């Protein structure tokens, strides 16, 4: 008895539904691994971002309205929290600050405190030198160096457009190169960018 012939459309659908074979899975894993190794996979490094003066936080303590709210990291790097007083936030991550607040509250009347810390607004970044509007600017995640230049009104006609001088909090100024032939350079909160003058 002859076997029934399935319509071509059903064969195509069935083929799409088949699980990927080892070669396909390996190729997919290779692509994902390559993407993770690129500068843009955790583009701006905010996953391990260290807090600093000017950052604004939302601290929530479950069922404790008197403490829950928005706080700013002071110029001295501290956050003033009811019951705890001033706690150092400068240099901490949101995870480590959460742990510190939880440990501090555990010694008060709050039993088994549940705490979350989120960043509401990041501290600004600064761009100087050969841009049309140098100054202080609000930071947004995934901001590239070229986008930062655009935020400052673009280059002046004297600007060196393939490199910049970048200083991050607590670090020395370094030269970074960017453009089509270089990796993407991401800006972090608190960065100071200086665009130099090109030599004619």
Domains recognised in the chain with CATH numbers: 47-121 (3.30.1950.10), 125-195 (3.10.560.10)
Phi/psi at 93 (5° precision)? -90, 170
Q: Are the C-beta atoms of residues 115 and 60 closer than 8 Å to each other?
A: yes
Tell whether the model's pLDDT for residue 34 goes beyond 60.
Answer: no
Q: How far apart are CA 85 and CA 104, in angstroms?
A: 10
CA pair distance 150, 73, nearest whole angstrom? 28
Q: Is-above-0.75 flag for pTM? A: no
Mean pLDDT for 37-65 is 78
Contact 199, 132 (CB under 8 A): no
Looking at per-residue confidence, does 170 or 123 come out higher? 123
């Amino acid at each position: 008895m002859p076997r029934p012939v399935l319509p071509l459309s059903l064969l195509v659908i069935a083929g799409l539904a088949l699980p990927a074979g080892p070669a396909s899975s390996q190729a997919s894993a290779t692509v994902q691994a390559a993407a993770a190794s690129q500068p843009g996979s955790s583009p701006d490094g905010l996953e391990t971002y260290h807090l600093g003066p000017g950052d604004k936080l939302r601290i929530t303590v479950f069922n404790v309205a008197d403490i829950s709210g928005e706080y700013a990291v002071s110029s001295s790097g501290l956050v003033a929290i009811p019951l705890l007083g001033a706690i150092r936030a400068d240099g901490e991550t949101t995870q480590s600050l959460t742990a510190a607040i939880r440990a501090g509250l555990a010694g008060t009347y709050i039993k088994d405190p549940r705490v979350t810390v989120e960043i509401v607004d990041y501290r600004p970044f600064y761009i100087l030198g050969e841009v049309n509007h140098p100054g202080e600017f609000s930071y947004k995640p995934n901001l590239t160096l070229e986008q930062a230049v655009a935020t400052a009104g673009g280059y002046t006609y004297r600007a060196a457009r393939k490199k910049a001088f970048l200083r991050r909090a607590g670090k020395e100024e370094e030269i970074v190169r960017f453009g089509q032939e270089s990796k993407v350079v991401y800006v972090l909160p608190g960065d100071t960018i200086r665009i130099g003058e090109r030599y004619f």
